[in-house]
């Protein structure tokens, strides 16, 4: 009888340890997802802050291109105002990225603008920020994948349901960016 009681207590103890460890794992993953999302937001804010300086620099050289400049400003304001889910923010961020591409394409028509040191510095900073956003997005999506796997896989899905842990949403590329990312790089001499 004593042995059976010890075995039952041992099984209960192991079960409680497993429950606590799994719960703490969920909390850790959820906090990593939140931290990763915060990193993305910091980089997006940095980009938002750089855009007005870039617009002012371009205005001096390409003032009659006001339609393009206005689209960039509108996309920036829309992205800044969007505090929705990662999927909603991804949509507005993709629109902003598209308008920035059109702004940089516009600079090709203005040799003086392309040679302007302030414009070049801002363009370099924006490119660096875009790269940081991409890196942050990869980190965020990796953490989301880990959390979602744990929420969906047995037996941790039982504990997730017991304590209300939910799947997180990926911060995804738009279809155009996905298509261009999968194309091989062409090198021409």
Tell me: the pLDDT tens digits for 68-100? 888 899 999 999 998 888 888 888 998 998 898
Determine, yes or no, domain membership for 181. Answer: no
| pLDDT above 70 for 189 | no
Q: Report d(CA 128, CA 122) in Å as an integer.
A: 10
How much is the average pLDDT of 4-14? Answer: 94
Residue 12 has a CB neighbour count (10 Å cut-off) of: 10
Is residue 29 situated within a structural domain? yes
Asked if the structure places residue 151 within a domain, the reply is: yes
Domain membership flag for residue 132: yes
| Contact assessment for residue 55 and residue 69, using Cβ atoms and an 8 Å cutoff | yes
**Spatial CB neighbours of 176, under 8 Å, sequence gap ≥ 6:** 94, 98
The more confidently predicted of residues 79 and 115 is 79
Structural domain count, the chain: 1
The CATH number covering residue 142 comes to 1.20.1440.20
How many CA atoms are closer than 13 Å to the CA of 10, on its beta-carbon side?
Answer: 6
pLDDT by residue (tens digit) across 160-180?
Answer: 999 999 999 999 866 555 555
Matching residue, tokens 């090198």: 187
104 pLDDT band, cuts 50/70/90, is confident
- 105 in a domain, yes or no? yes
Give yes or no for a contact between 150 and 29, defined as CB atoms under 8 angstroms apart: yes
Rounded Cα distance between 85 and 68, Å, is 28
Higher pLDDT, residue 102 or 137:
137
**Is 42 a member of any domain?**
yes
* Whole-structure pTM value: 0.81
pLDDT over 90 at 137, yes or no = yes
Tell me the mean pLDDT in the region 39-60.
90
Instruction: Check: CB of residue 171 under 8 Å from CB of residue 137.
Output: yes
């Amino acid at each position: 009888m004593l042995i059976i009681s010890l075995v039952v207590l041992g099984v209960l103890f192991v079960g409680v340890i497993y429950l606590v460890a799994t719960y703490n794992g969920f909390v850790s993953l959820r906090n990593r997802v939140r931290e990763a999302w915060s990193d993305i937001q910091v980089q997006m804010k940095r980009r938002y802050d750089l855009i007005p300086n870039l617009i002012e620099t371009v205005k001096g050289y390409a003032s009659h291109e006001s339609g393009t400049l206005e689209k960039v400003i509108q996309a920036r304001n829309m992205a800044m105002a969007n505090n929705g889910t990662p999927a909603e923010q991804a949509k507005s961020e993709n629109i902003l990225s598209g308008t920035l591409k059109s702004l940089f394409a516009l600079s090709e028509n203005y040799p003086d603008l392309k040679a302007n040191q302030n414009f070049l510095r801002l363009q370099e900073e924006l490119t660096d920020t875009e790269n940081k956003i991409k890196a942050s997005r990869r980190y965020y999506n990796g953490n989301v994948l880990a959390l979602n796997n744990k929420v969906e896989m047995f037996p941790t899905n039982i504990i997730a349901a017991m304590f209300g842990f939910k799947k997180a949403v990926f911060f995804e590329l738009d279809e155009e960016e996905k298509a261009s990312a999968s194309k091989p790089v062409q090198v021409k001499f």
